[in-house]
A = this chain, B = another copy of it.
Amino acid sequence: MFLSSATNTLDAKGRVSVPADFRAVVAQSAFDGIIVWPSFDGAYLEGGGIALLQDYQRSLETLDYYDEGRIALQRAIFAESRRLPFDGGGRVSLPKDLHEYAGLNGKITFVGLGRRFEIWSPAAYAERSENVRKLARENRHRLKPVPRDAQGGTL
């Protein structure tokens, strides 16, 4: 489970350390690294382990082959995603077009959100999450107990 946030530095070679906790999440999975793609919801990146993409795949396979949504999501996620392997020090090289998409320079923030994570420029994330606690307080009643055997959605 991806938890907590951390801000690391993007070096001159375009490398950045993935937080050790995040690395632990994807350890012993089929691919020793992370998968990252540009969010279709804003100027930031989304990512996860290979298992997340496999879950997405399973979810999309419940839709018709030519379902418009299926195709759109496949294009936005599968086609745009990059496989970023860890180097010996637990870093990944973030391709230049992804830097640019998310407006990253110097520092980048990893944000753990459970089954996936996001990558933000620290300033943009600070702005976006300015009122989180207030909003969370207002929405706390939405966090309802769920029966143990109910299946949660994948996406």
Chain A interface residues (CB < 8 Å from chain B):
1-5, 21, 35, 38, 40-41, 50, 53-63, 65-70, 72-83, 111-115, 129, 132-140, 142-148, 150-155
- The residue of chain B having its C-beta at the shortest distance from the C-beta of A131 within the complex is B72
**A68 CB contact (under 8 Å) in B55, B81, B135, B153:** B135
| Contact indicator B5/A139 (Cβ below 8 Å) | no
User: A148 to chain B: which residues have CB within 8 Å?
Assistant: 151
By DSSP majority rule, is chain A's interface helix, strand, loop, or mixed? mixed
Q: What are 29 residue pairs bridging A and B, where the CB atoms are less than 8 Å apart in the complex?
A: A3-B53, A3-B78, A4-B83, A21-B83, A40-B132, A40-B136, A40-B137, A41-B66, A41-B137, A53-B114, A55-B146, A57-B152, A58-B146, A59-B143, A59-B146, A60-B114, A62-B150, A67-B142, A68-B135, A72-B136, A73-B139, A73-B140, A74-B113, A75-B113, A75-B132, A76-B133, A78-B113, A78-B114, A144-B154
